[in-house]
Structure 1
């Protein structure tokens, strides 16, 4: 018998696994997860991305096989990125809207294979397709400095989004952080009759060091950085403005990228957003957990699930993560 007069004992609700599950405030489900995948030209078979263990650049055949694995695990949305051969890249990224471009062929293959059973989301950005690796068209400003031209880039985004819709994308996801990109894409899609195609806006995309392994995944040609158009990691209020602008322009989802280092941003946007809020657990976040787990420094599976729970707890309704298939299997 205790000699202490303790009126509340929160530990009573932690006594067993069943009790903890009964009172859990946050639950991650497979239906919350979006699996980013990469389809690449010039491959004879799928190729592992060395800095992202367990992730691959895919051929069309291995892409479909990987998507089947995801769907069988309970993941019903794929976010697809295209990786062209270097000779297809040019200053404007024109292969991005070519009917036979690698990304559009990948979208078409998934829709033909799965119909509406799998949501096909397409990355709508030019960085994989430009020979300079930036997310838009290069030019000079009034002072003669080289810059990514905002309004000239929007034309490429609209052509890319319409091409993706024609290929069968259910969702387009503009990630270049150009001002006005959501409004321009929405107008272009509607004008072509694609009123049912959704837009997931990369509303708060930071110029982050956590993107490092992704550059290998897409064969990036970038020299320099993207700090003139992606957000400064020091800023929070700016993200609230960016998200509100995208909502006003017609975004169906807003997204924060990266996720784990920006949970405060996710939470703040979730407080006011009338549309679903997503967060992207990016390549560097995935790679760090993989590296620590494979070295025995952390429990890989437990850390994976804790990280996803934290993102959901912060307010994300959808989580883009390279752990999607593994996590979905774990949840089953």
Structure 2
């Protein structure tokens, strides 16, 4: 398949009227797959009404079909088209955080969306992205767009056009190149179908920010565990993993360097995932910095790109620093744990 590339300027007026956006939207209406930037990561979009279109997502990514997808909309009021009901707390979250990196799980209206979007569940995750290209594409298509991250299943999510092109060129109809994404990790997913809202996936909106608006919320215990029937993307399978096995190390740079030395003495090529503040502590075959420890938003922004850097270096093993589990750090550690297959070494 020929994969078309549409390069667009994110900051022009009436972007939905531009020829590139119109052409990409037309492909979506023809039930083809189009990758596009959001404020979190690049998404792989399909017509959420169509079984045929949504099934193409699973095939292109190699994604298990019991892993539900998020529906992207371009207007807040469109949530009422697809949700059976929108509780008061969900309304407050919508008013505060949409458009933005927050996905809300709601009971779904039957018969409107492909059952492949919901993976057969009675619920659906809906969000309104804030990226101008994403909003323009959804608006121009006139469709709700089902869109997981635009990468091969299990690999680090894409935050640049090139990441998408590396993974999916020849597998999809086209890619809208809108430059680098912003937040860098996926949206927060919160389940509002029962009494106390429950965060199923930490992400671009923190628990603290949510609780400032609607009061106490729970963090699902399955965020750290493998689950059989996921209500949210990213809950069941290993995700975000570089090619080489990775270990998270809860310990000092000195201890991490000891692990590096031991592995190198065994003839292995070793990588270290570190931060700007601590990069000079290490001697390894490949050292990748993912941001500033004092500014965890930079780590979130760079995380997936950093993980992908190891794949071209023929590394045998990767040791990664860990981060405080507060604010955006909760999302960072959630992604790192999945990328490492929950392998953790403690000093």
Same fold (TM over 0.5): no
TM-score, with structure 2 as normaliser: 0.32
Question: TM-score if structure 1 supplies the norm length?
Answer: 0.33
